[in-house]
Structure 1
Amino acid sequence: MDESTRLLADLVAIPSVNPMGRPVSGPEYFEGRIGAYLEDWFQQAGISTVRQAVAPGRSNILVRYEAPGSSAPTILLDVHQDTVPVDGMTIPPFEPRVEAGRLYGRGSCDVKAGMAAMLLAFRRLCYERPKGSASVILACTVDEEYTHLGSDKLAETQKGIDLAVVAEPTKLDVVPWHKGSVRWKVRTKGVACHSSTPERGANAIYRMAKVVDALEAHAEELSRSVPHPKLGPPSLSVGRIDGGRSVNVVPDWCEIEIDRRLLPGETWEEAVERARACVASQVVDPSVVEFEPPWGRMPALETPLGPWLEPLTKAVEAATGRAPALVGVPYGTDAGPLGQVGIPAIVFGPGDIAQAHTRDEWIELDQVALAVEAYYRIALALG
């Protein structure tokens, strides 16, 4: 194995599963172990770290490279520590395997390949201290996969950033635009009774069926709305449903969970209110429907193309042999909270989002090696 492959294998072998709100426990959950590994890795390289507390037992890990000279611009490199859960995987999730130029394992694509590339590029900057480079802050954040607490904290505390580069699998293309999201639950109330006499109760699942019909109509309406030129139209999906206590009891509750994808310029408050109004207009008794406060909010990203664009794309082309495309993507990233506070942010990294979160997640190792060089050259070009 070359160095980038060895480092990626080490990272994949350390579980850092985000439980995604589930009441679970164990050493494979949260980012404590990967955070400790990162601190040790930087210490061995002679690089001082800062642990930024985000939540109990969860910390962003930050390091800084000061470029020679006091007038250099500052780039923020951001990569998240957590992965999605491993349910349904058909390969051992934490036993990295190299085969036919690919490395398999949970997080290999999303986003420990980007992490390995950023670590090696950052260490090279510290060792070589090239003239004319930018200063660089590398932030390894927590909780990107669920409620992005880490990037929210980062956005609150980092000042004077000229450009943020966020690692996600983009096939080494440059992403200045992505959708945002808001996620929340809706409950319907009913009256429980014995199922042999359903007329004595009120079925919360039947009531929810009308809510779902209304939301399906709203989703269809959204799909026909004016599209963003790079991102298409907004969308809504009902992704989970639960309800009732037993098959022989008329259910007195039902719950669904909604994922609404936002375009730049849309607010999560407006999106929720539009859905609420649609439901209220089509449900006979809106008082039996309860919209819970959103548990997840990710801002959309729309970074104005500025003077950074030409040197960045030329740096990527020099590293990869290919001029990167400028593309929009439908998923959210840590770049959303950074862009919301006025930090110009783009998303760029090795791998294909089609391999992220999959049952046999993998990454093309050639892309990892190219990303190391690309991140290094970006720091040089933007100095």
Structure 2
Amino acid sequence: MYFSSILKKLSFDVDMWEPSTEDMKINPDFLAAREDYKGSPNVAGTLKGKGGGRSILLNGHIDVVPGGDNDWNDSPWSGKLEDGKIYGRGACDMKGGIIANVMAVKAIMDSGIQLNGDVIIESVIGEETGGAGTLSAISRGYKADGAIVPEPTDMQLCPVSMGVTWFRIIIKGLAAHGATSYLGVNAINKASMIVQKLNEFEAKRIKEIKHELYKHHPAPFSVNIGIIKGGIFPTSVPDEVIIEGRMSFSPDEEISEARRELENAVYGAAREDGWLKEHMPQIEWYGFCLNSGSVDKEHALVKTIADNYKYVKNDDPNIVGTPWGTDAGALIRYGNTPAVVFGPGPGGTAHKANEYVDVEKLIETTKIIACTILDWCGYEQ
């Protein structure tokens, strides 16, 4: 309600709705993290232009990861302004970017400028769990000639977004008393073989999969083991281990291809073990999948943002790929909307304690987005 009231004050036509699971079917790889989206509305506002200009969509996700209470100097929800930094969970990722979108349009309107092209501002849910909100907005018809997603890129210009997906591997053993462990099969020992193979698989991907806009990144397309669960009692042989992790993939890869390669690595390791060969690990893709997407570096939107970066900063932007998945992939793949990720930062504080957005970067980002809207949509003063 709060965000919709902001847009209404700016004379946007406002649409607020709760996404449905049907909306996600445009992405066959989507993995639902919840059964429904009651109480979690999307908001989209449209500011109609006079006509004859290109439209632009300014997308931002309103959801955040859990705040946590450890290691914060203040409450994760304080919104404290100190030394040019605004602190709080989501300040950087990505409420700062959402505010940059709003204030950019407000500055244009306060200047008495009438845009030729339409402007759409979105506050979407669920990016942190796979992008449900943006998929729903696309299904509802929200598309444009170009889009900016102001994730915390540290004002680096990102026409490429990597893909990210989560996996779960279930490894079975055979329970026994620890004193007669020879009567059982230790699932933790078997899981250690799979972990080793996953590490080898990751090293191979890092070595072999390259992309022009990830030359700066030491390990962009990685495999991270985030959770291992196994065993129920110190004197029992564990009969099950669950490994959960994250795999990122290049925009040049199809998600099905990346998943198949991980599956082949796990099954290949299992076939080398007498027990696992007869009790194959079970692999699940669950909970999170953001597809990759890319826009050519020479695309008009990339050039427009770059030109306005130079106008504001008197310097050329650094053009790279995102280090994480974003909703830009969905906009590109399923919304037929060229999308560039460009926002404030520092991105390195996202998901951490004492997360903050840098106020100077926030103001500079707002100026660049405002100037980009003017050049992209066209205007009459």
Fold conserved between structures, TM > 0.5: yes
> Which residue of the partner structure matches residue 3 of structure 2?
38
CA distance in 2, matches of 1:143, 1:226: 29
* Residue 63 to residue 128, structure 1, CA distance change in 2 (3 Å): farther
Matched, 1:62 2:44: yes
Corresponding residue SS for 1:313: helix
What does 1:229-268 correspond to in 2, within 5 Å? 229-232=212-215, 234-268=221-255
Deviation at 1:129, TM superposition (A): 5.5
Q: How many Å apart are 1:171 and its aligned residue? A: 2.1
Q: Which residue of 2 aligns with 1:275?
A: 262
Q: CA RMSD in A?
A: 2.0
Find out whether 1:332 has 2:325 as its counterpart. Answer: yes
Is 2:301 aligned against 1:308? Answer: yes
In the other structure, the counterpart of 1:176 is: 159
Amino acid at match of 1:357: H
Alignment partner of 1:167 is 2:154: no
- How much has 1:249 moved relative to structure 2? 2.0
Q: How does 1:31-180 map to 2 (within 5 A)?
A: 36-54=1-19, 55-68=37-50, 70-87=51-68, 88-91=70-73, 92-128=75-111, 130-158=113-141, 160-180=143-163
Taking a change above 3 Å as real, the CA distance of residues 125 and 158 of structure 1, as seen in their structure-2 partners, is farther
8 Å contact from structure 2 (residues 159, 302) kept in 1: no
Aligned partner of 1:361 in structure 2 is 355
Matches within 5 A, 1:6-45: 36-45=1-10
Partner of 1:31: none
Distance 1:216 1:173 in 2: 30
Are the counterparts in 2 of residues 122 and 138 from structure 1 also a CA contact under 8 Å? no
Measured after TM superposition, the shift of residue 56 of structure 1 is 2.0
Q: Structure 1 CA distance, aligned partners of 2:345 and 2:374? A: 23
Deviation track 1:72-114 (CA, whole Å, cap 9, x = no partner) reads 2110100110111122342211112222211222111111111
CA contact (8 A) 1:186 1:292 kept: yes
1:382 Cα deviation from its structure 2 partner: 0.4
TM-score by length of 2: 0.85
Letter in 1 for 2:267: A
Q: Distance in 1 between matches of 2:320 and 2:290?
A: 19
User: What is the TM-score of this pair, normalised by structure 1?
Assistant: 0.85
User: CA 1:106–1:51 in structure 2 vs 1: closer, same or farther (change >3 Å)?
Assistant: same
What number of residue pairs does the alignment pair up?
347
Contact 2:305 2:368 in 1 (8 A): no
**Distance change in 2, residues 1:115/1:89 (3 Å):** farther
Are the aligned partners of 2:230 and 2:241 in contact in 1 as well (CA < 8 Å)? yes
Partner of 1:9: none
Please state how far the C-alpha of 1:116 moved relative to its aligned partner: 1.4
d(CA) in 1 for partners of 2:198 and 2:109? 53
Alignment partners' CA distance in 1, 2:310 and 2:285: 45
Amino acid at match of 1:202: V
Partner in structure 2 of residue 26 of structure 1:
none
CA contact under 8 A between 1:181 and 1:298: conserved in structure 2?
A: yes
- Cα distance in structure 1, aligned partners of 2:15 and 2:159: 28
Look up the SS of the partner of 1:227 in the other structure: coil
Deviations 1:309-333 (A, max 9, x none): 3333222333344332222222111
Separation in structure 2 between the aligned mates of residue 300 and residue 97 of structure 1, nearest angstrom: 34
Separation in 1, partners of 2:71, 2:130: 23
Percent of counterpart pairs with the same letter?
25
* 2:284 corresponds to: 292
Q: Which deviations, in whole Å up to 9, do the C-alpha atoms of 1:331-359 show, x marking residues without a partner?
A: 11111111112321100111121122221
Provide the C-alpha distance between the structure 1 equivalents of 2:213 and 2:76, rounded to a whole number of angstroms.
34
Once residues 295 and 121 of structure 1 are traced to their aligned partners in structure 2, the CA distance between those partners, rounded to angstroms, is: 34
Residue in structure 1 matched with residue 181 of structure 2 by the alignment: 198
Query: Which amino acid in structure 2 is aligned with residue 42 of structure 1?
Result: L
d(CA) in 2 for partners of 1:89 and 1:153?
36
| 1:199-227 deviation line (CA, Å, top 9, x unaligned) | 22222111111111111111111121041
Of structures 1 and 2, the one scoring higher in RCO (CA 8 A, sep 6+) is: 2
* Gap regions ≥5 residues in structure 2: 20-36
Spell out, residue by residue over 1:248-305, the C-alpha distance to the aligned partner (whole angstroms, 9 max, x if none).
2221211011211100121222222211211222222243311013332111221123
CA distance in 2, matches of 1:318, 1:293: 45
Higher mean displacement: 161-170 or 269-278 = 269-278
Give the letter aligned to residue 313 of structure 1.
A
SS where residue 41 of structure 2 aligns? strand
Give 1:376's aligned amino acid.
Answer: A
Which residue of structure 1 lines up, in the alignment, with residue 203 of structure 2? 220
Which is worse superposed, 235-244 or 115-124?
115-124
Q: Does 1:322 align with 2:322?
A: no
Residue 34 of structure 2 corresponds to none
Secondary structure of 1:95's counterpart equals coil
